[in-house]
Amino acid sequence: MSKQEVIICQNFNTELSQKLSAHSYDKIFILTDEHTFRLCLPLLQDIALLKDAEQIVIGPEDVHKNLETLAYVWNQLSNRGATRHSLLINLGGGMVTDLGGFAAATFKRGIACINIPTTLLSMIDAAVGGKTGINFNGLKNEIGSFYPADQVMIDSQFLKTLDMPNLLSGYGEMLKHGLISQPSHWSELLTFDFAHIDYALLQKLIGQSVQVKEDIVEKDPYEQSIRKALNFGHTIGHAFESFALKTNHPVLHGYAVAWGMVCELYLSHIRCGFPKEALRTTIQFIKENYGSLYFTCDDYECLYDFMKHDKKNASCGVINFTLLGGIGDIRINQTASQEEIYELLDFYRETMG
Ligand SMILES: NC(=O)c1ccc[n+]([C@@H]2O[C@H](COP(=O)([O-])OP(=O)(O)OC[C@H]3O[C@@H](n4cnc5c(N)ncnc54)[C@H](O)[C@@H]3O)[C@@H](O)[C@H]2O)c1
Ligand SMILES: O=C(O)C(=O)C[C@@H](O)[C@H](O)[C@H](O)COP(=O)(O)O
Ligand SMILES: [Zn+2]
């Protein structure tokens, strides 16, 4: 996989202009969703090299991260003269960078791509590391590719318009990075005050968080081994997210991951000795800030069926988990039986309900 350049911008316009002028793209396309078109695209209006850029606007959020939207983007690229020498800029959250990244990966077998993440989640996670794709057949990211954007240009100025639920959603993935990295990073994350946001502190935490992801992706870009750490919380989190989408009550990805981590931390505790106190404080933080997903024991089978499609699974019907023996003590390729998974769901409902 080609190396990806992740830039925490000091002067966004200048740095992006420099990157654009280093290449001779025949055409530049900017992909936004309806919200980032309105709220984020205006922040690029002084960049001369984007004056003639073609705009492609898609519907927002995960309900649009699908084949129909992807086909629309392919169509726009094709009908508006994109060639192999064109550039696609993805300006948006993880939905835009995932779908746009996959459009760039597949259009004429691959065109240049720059990610400009505009949500906290996409800054520290989705825009970085090369996983692109769409949801399909009711399953999260069922179709996709590894196709890192040439550059990821991070500027926290975009966060000023982001609402609190989406800020918290991104923070869920940051918490995951804390749990799989260092006790000091994890404990600092637990003290963050959402009622009085300190943007300078948030900027520092974004830098640390993105570094956790970059370090892991560099070691294992195609998720053969240690990259599975970045999937902590997702075996059950993705099942929660797909279940919520199926029942027409979509939830934000980072919330689903936070709830998934409640279950997977508990499994980590009983299986790998994850310390009780760290379990308690993390669950407390999640409960206070993320509330809970409602489901009953009648939904267990449906949730379990979603888990059978997890991409980490190696053999049919055996569910693969990444667990933790402690903060930063990563144990990949763990499994649990259907009965054990149902017990985790019981634990979730008892603790979070
Ligand atoms: N590829 C990866 O490694 C990876 C990692 C984590 C998550 N993901 C995927 O990312 C997606 C979630 O990403 P997300 O949380 O960024 O959601 P999103 O892209 O759906 O954005 C959330 C909402 O915020 C709006 N928005 C975006 N930027 C804004 C801004 N600056 N101001 C105001 N509103 C803004 C969007 O229009 C949308 O309504 C999921 O599909 C998830 O599966 C991918
Ligand atoms: O980058 C990774 O690797 C991750 O697993 C990051 C996750 O936060 C992200 O949600 C990813 O899209 C999940 O991928 P999937 O392979 O489980 O679909
Ligand atoms: Zn995720």
213 touches ligand 1 (CB under 6 Å): no
For CA atoms 166, 172, 177, 178, give the dihedral sign: positive
* 3 state DSSP class of 320: strand
Q: What is the CATH number of domain 166-352?
A: 1.20.1090.10
Q: How far is the CA of 255 from the centre of ligand 3 (A)?
A: 10
Q: How far is the CA of 320 from the centre of ligand 1 (A)?
A: 26
Q: How far is the CA of 325 from the centre of ligand 1 (A)?
A: 30
Instruction: Report which ligand 2 atom has the smallest distance to the Cα of 144.
Output: 18
Q: What is the pLDDT of residue 3?
A: 76
Nearest to 287 by CA among 328, 263, 259, 246: 259
Q: What is the pLDDT of residue 315?
A: 81
Which amino acid residue places its CA nearest to atom 6 of ligand 2?
Answer: 230
Q: How far is the CA of 303 from the centre of ligand 3 (A)?
A: 17
Nearest to 219 by CA among 235, 230, 234, 232: 230
Check if the beta carbon of residue 74 is closer than 8 Å to that of residue 103: yes
Q: What is the pLDDT of residue 32?
A: 99
Which amino acid residue places its CA nearest to atom 5 of ligand 1?
Answer: 126
Q: What is the pLDDT of residue 69?
A: 99
In this structure, CATH architecture of domain 5-161: 3-Layer(aba) Sandwich (3.40)
Q: What is the pLDDT of residue 317?
A: 81
In angstroms, the CA 195 to CA 207 distance is 21
**Ranges of the chain whose pLDDT falls below 50:** none
173 touches ligand 2 (CB under 6 Å): yes
Q: How far is the CA of 116 from the centre of ligand 2 (A)?
A: 18
Instruction: Report which ligand 1 atom has the smallest distance to the Cα of 125.
Output: 5
Instruction: Report which ligand 1 atom has the smallest distance to the Cα of 241.
Output: 43
Q: What is the 3-state secondary structure (H, E, C) of 326-346?
A: ECCEEEEEEEECHHHHHHHHH
Instruction: Report which ligand 2 atom has the smallest distance to the Cα of 173.
Output: 8
Within the chain, which residue ranges are assigned CATH 3.40.50.1970? Answer: 5-161
In angstroms, the CA 310 to CA 307 distance is 5
| Paired tokens of 40 | 């984020």
172 touches ligand 1 (CB under 6 Å): no
Which pTM was predicted?
0.98
Q: How far is the CA of 126 from the centre of ligand 3 (A)?
A: 7
Q: Looking up tokens 């991951």, which residue turns up? A: 257
In angstroms, the CA 88 to CA 146 distance is 16
Mutational test site, ligand 1, from 70, 95, 143, max ligand atoms within 8 Å of CB:
95
115 touches ligand 1 (CB under 6 Å): no
In angstroms, the CA 253 to CA 179 distance is 17
Within the chain, which residue ranges are assigned CATH 1.20.1090.10? Answer: 166-352
229 touches ligand 1 (CB under 6 Å): no
Q: What is the pLDDT of residue 224?
A: 97
4 touches ligand 1 (CB under 6 Å): no
241 touches ligand 2 (CB under 6 Å): no
Which amino acid residue places its CA nearest to atom 43 of ligand 1?
Answer: 253
CB-side neighbour CA atoms (13 Å) of 96 = 30
